[in-house]
Amino acid sequence: MRKVRKISLLWRGAVCSKESNISFSKTEELTLLQKEKFVTIHRMRIAQREIGNHTAPFIIAEMSRNHNHSLDRALAIVDTAAEAGVHALKLQTYTPDTMTLNLETGEFYIEDENSLWKGESLYKLYQKAMTPWEWHEPIFQRCCEKGLIPFSSPFDATAVDFLESLDVPCYKIASFENADLPLLRKVAQTGKPVIMSTGMATIAELDESVRTLRENGCRDIVLLKCTSTYPATPENTNLLTIPHLRELFGCEVGLSDHSMGIGVAVASVALGATVIEKHFTLNRADGGVDSAFSMEPAEMKALVDESLKAWQALGKVFYGQTEAEKKSLVFRRSLYVCEDIKMGEKFTERNVRCIRPGLGLPPKYLDIVLGKTAAKDVKRGTPLDWELLLD
């Protein structure tokens, strides 16, 4: 484990300082008087950002391997992610030696014809894909300057210790590590929020993982529905799992999305996703280990904008007219006189019609009106009213 300088970063909106520490697992206790009983509601926070269905989805740009071994490119990814409007940027913290063995045979070599990484050994793939640990601090600092919340996925205990030295506000557990209980215990013992992808995990495995997190001090958990194929297809995404995860485990839920485009991610908001994670790059044409299924800047901005609209559109269960709709009531159909009528004449299907606008009697009264006698002369185009009818 390399030695690193202990730094203290203060996330407070767009402000970042090295002058003081705060706890990044802060939560807020709200007490409501409900049915004459006090009920305590716990709201989750990551840094100063609340997470939940009471606020817009928390959008994470995953840099992953898209820096292509250039710190300047990594910093440019931070800048562009901030311009796109995301809330957080995530790295991955590992070395080839913390991931696997340096072997190029058997299961240590990728031979799957459909894999993006066919022909690579695991060791060389991770060697190519890793983010140098000495880059974390300048990347995190740039995130602070741009108003982003920076954090990372650790893949072993040494990575957790390293990230603790940087005072990360939360941790992400990747799908391939969601059954690594020793790692989960180590992360949970920091007391910080944990976002965990659920790719490949059975309900029993997730139950064991969530219990491990909670029993070791993690109070705030987000479970992300994830399909561990690269890229993923919409038909294999199974978004209906999202509300089921919330029901089963009583925690925040979201989506770690490897599909192309924004349709799947936006749809997840309607099913209760409060966190959305997507891989992000400057330009897929630039290449890179993860570039093929990563979002470009314009796509990421569209995701931020459209997921916000989707959340706003959820609203509440409501019937009747909204305040904005009231002025449209005039365009409903109603009963109008369509021919001049003399006092004493009968209202008939020929001289009364159901038309727009809506200033006359509602259409449901047509059968009652027909056959009634006019109380006075009525001109064509007059909205029908009870005062125009004789009993």
- Cα dihedral 375, 378, 384, 389, rounded to 10, equals 10
Express each pLDDT in 190-231 by its tens digit. Answer: 999 999 999 999 999 999 999 999 999 999 999 999 999 989
Average pLDDT over residues 283-312: 94
Rounded Cα distance, 154 and 172, in Å: 7
Per-residue model confidence (pLDDT) at position 14? 35
Phi/psi-derived region of residue 304, left when phi > 0, alpha when psi is between -120 and 50, beta in every other case:
alpha
Average pLDDT over residues 287-299: 90
Per-residue model confidence (pLDDT) at position 117? 63
Rounded Cα distance, 158 and 238, in Å: 34
For the chain, percent of residues with pLDDT exceeding 90: 80
CA 105 to chain centre: 40
Q: 91 pairs with which residues across the strands?
A: 152
Q: What contacts 301, CB < 8 A, 6 or more positions away?
A: 83, 84, 85
Per-residue model confidence (pLDDT) at position 9? 45
Does 250 have pLDDT greater than 90?
yes
Considering only residues 12 and 253, tell me which one the structure prediction assigns the higher pLDDT: 253
Residue tagged 């047509």 (tokens): 366
Per-residue model confidence (pLDDT) at position 37? 35
Q: How confident is the model at residue 287 (pLDDT cuts 50, 70, 90)?
A: confident
Express each pLDDT in 27-58 by its tens digit. Answer: 333 333 333 333 345 799 999 999 999 999 99
Q: What contacts 286, CB < 8 A, 6 or more positions away?
A: 68
What are the Cα distances from residue 295, in Å, to 124, 260, 282? Answer: 25, 8, 8
Average pLDDT over residues 110-138: 87
CA 50 to chain centre: 13
Rounded Cα distance, 275 and 233, in Å: 20
Extract long-range pairs of 353-361: CB within 8 Å, 24+ residues apart.
Answer: 356/331, 356/332, 357/330, 357/331, 357/332, 358/329, 358/330, 358/331, 358/332, 358/333, 358/334, 359/330, 359/334, 359/383, 360/334, 360/335, 360/336, 360/384, 360/385, 361/334, 361/335, 361/385, 361/386
Q: How confident is the model at residue 129 (pLDDT cuts 50, 70, 90)?
A: confident
Does 3 have pLDDT greater than 70?
no
**What is the amino acid identity at position 207?**
D
CA 22 to chain centre: 26
**What is the amino acid identity at position 156?**
D
Rg (CA), the chain: 30
Per-residue model confidence (pLDDT) at position 2? 43
Per-residue model confidence (pLDDT) at position 42? 74
If you average pLDDT over every residue of the chain, what do you get?
Answer: 90
